[in-house]
Amino acid sequence: MPNLEHPAYPAADLLHLESLVPCRESQVSMLLSIFGERQQFSFPSIFIYGHTSSGKTYVMQTLLTTLQLPHVFVNCVEYFTSRLLLEEILIQLQSCSGTEQMSPVHCDTLNDFVRLFKQALATRELQDQTLYIVLDRAEQLREMEANILPAFLRLQELTDRNVTVVLLSEIVWELFRPSIGCFEPFTMYFPDYSIGHLQKILSQNHPPEYSADFYAAYINILLGVFYMVCRDLKELRHLAALNFAKYCEPVVRGEANERDTRKLWKNIEPHLKKAMQTVYLREISSSQWERLQHDGGEPGQLKGLSAHTHVELPYYSKFLLIAAYLASYNPVRTDKRFFLKHHGKIRKTNFMKKHEKTSNHLLGPKPFPLDRLLAILYSIVDNRVAPTANIFSQCPWEEPALSQQTAFASGILLTSTQPCAHKASLCVCLGNDARPIC
């Protein structure tokens, strides 16, 4: 019995749609209920959110295309300004209306967009049914003008036309809502695929020369290895296609049959462990990876980011990090003692303030002014440092004091990189103690 039923659409189309969107039947059924019949007014705006690779974009594209609903689909990352976005919507709208000659569109303001939008919907093809405007990666709208998002949310009211705007995003609606308020859309959540859903979806792509049970067993092994570190459907599909030839080698050579899972697992296990090191990285192409597997190469032969354990920083960037670390963990009154050769006589006293009895590392990094950072930089570098744009471009400008995040990041990078030897007197100072780092 089909899960998708709606009186406004043919049963054959709904059955085909159900086969194209496995494990998303409940979400598609909800969308069909919201859309209603073709000529009915739907919600002015719908907000769909969920993690990456949860099927939001694919389900919307498949639903609108399979049921032949007039729609405009725009990626807000590709059209990153309001003018590009509005003009692209109008250009796609011309193709929906069946216009043979595509005229150039110039839309500078939102008022121009509303006027041109009404003109484009004047054709008979778009007057009798709902038009859907889908904005993928809609979180980019927050970086545009303040009136763009509220206008899209109530575009049906502004144009007095049968139009529904669908926003697809990976973040929740609460991070969209302007402080002055706006029209609230209908929100809908796409949950992550479970391991059972991933098993069912990936098993549908089995090669015709092998049985479905054989490929399902391979997907089960693949998910058992990668599910804890990767739940991205696209990445898992890429890994499945990349390693399946290696899984089939014992069967091709006649050393095992399709049901001998133990031999198949022992053959594929070391190669899956290698693939674990490059999940998401795409350091080499698929052909290079297959060649490396065929030659019996080791993961250390990969010439990518994961093959390098030491990352060398630029010369002045390294010393800027050291200077930021020193400035964030040492009181200002110690600079004269640490960074001047002839600092004069220092009185020894046992008097310490109450908060100084605690290690500065336990208290965390402190903010510091930019002038102090540069003064320490000039004192720890051997040669004379000219205050050029190359230096100032690497300093975060957050005067009057640099943020604690900058100081904390400098401490992390100092522990993960190896500063080169530059001066015997350079020390990392912890509170009132000093010890060399070179």
Q: What's the half-sphere exposure (Cβ side, CA atoms, 13 Å) at 295? A: 11
| Position 337 confidence tier, pLDDT thresholds 50, 70, 90 | confident
| Position 391 confidence tier, pLDDT thresholds 50, 70, 90 | confident
Q: What is the pLDDT of residue 425?
A: 33
| Position 348 confidence tier, pLDDT thresholds 50, 70, 90 | low
The CATH fold assigned to 11-189 is: Rossmann fold (3.40.50)
SS3 assignment for the chain:
CCCCCCCCCCHHHHHHHHHHCCCCHHHHHHHHHHHCCCCCCCCCEEEEECCCCCCHHHHHHHHHHHCCCCEEEEECCCCCCHHHHHHHHHHHHHHHCCCCCCCCCCCCCHHHHHHHHHHHCCCHHHHCCCEEEEEECHHHHHHCCCCHHHHHHCHHHHHCCCEEEEEEECCCHHHCCCCCCCCCCEEEECCCCCHHHHHHHHHCCCCCCCCHHHHHHHHHHHHHHHCCCCCCHHHHHHHHHHHHHHHCHHHHCCCCCCCCHHHHHHHHHHHHHHHHCCCCCCCCCHHHHHHHHHHCCCHHHCCCHHHCCCCCCCHHHHHHHHHHHHHHHCCHHHHHHHHCCCCCCCCCCCCCCHHHHCCHHHHCCCCECHHHHHHHHHHHCCCCCCCCHHHHCCCCCCCCCECHHHHHHHHHHHHHCCCCCCCCCCEEEECCEEEECC
In this predicted model, what pLDDT tens digit does every residue of 184-231 receive, in sequence order? 999 999 999 999 999 999 999 888 889 999 999 999 999 999 998 888
Q: What is the pLDDT of residue 434?
A: 36
| Position 422 confidence tier, pLDDT thresholds 50, 70, 90 | very low
Residue 241 has which token pair?
Answer: 């296609």
Q: Is the pLDDT of residue 310 over 90?
A: no
Better pLDDT: 91 or 288 = 91
In this predicted model, what pLDDT tens digit does every residue of 315-335 receive, in sequence order? 778 888 898 999 898 888 888
Which of 30-39, 40-49, 336-345, 392-401 is predicted with the least confidence, judged by mean pLDDT?
392-401
Q: What is the pLDDT of residue 411?
A: 53
Q: Is the pLDDT of residue 338 over 90?
A: no
Q: What is the pLDDT of residue 276?
A: 81
| Position 396 confidence tier, pLDDT thresholds 50, 70, 90 | low
Q: What is the pLDDT of residue 166?
A: 98
Domain ranges in the chain with CATH number 3.40.50.300: 11-189
Q: What is the pLDDT of residue 418?
A: 39
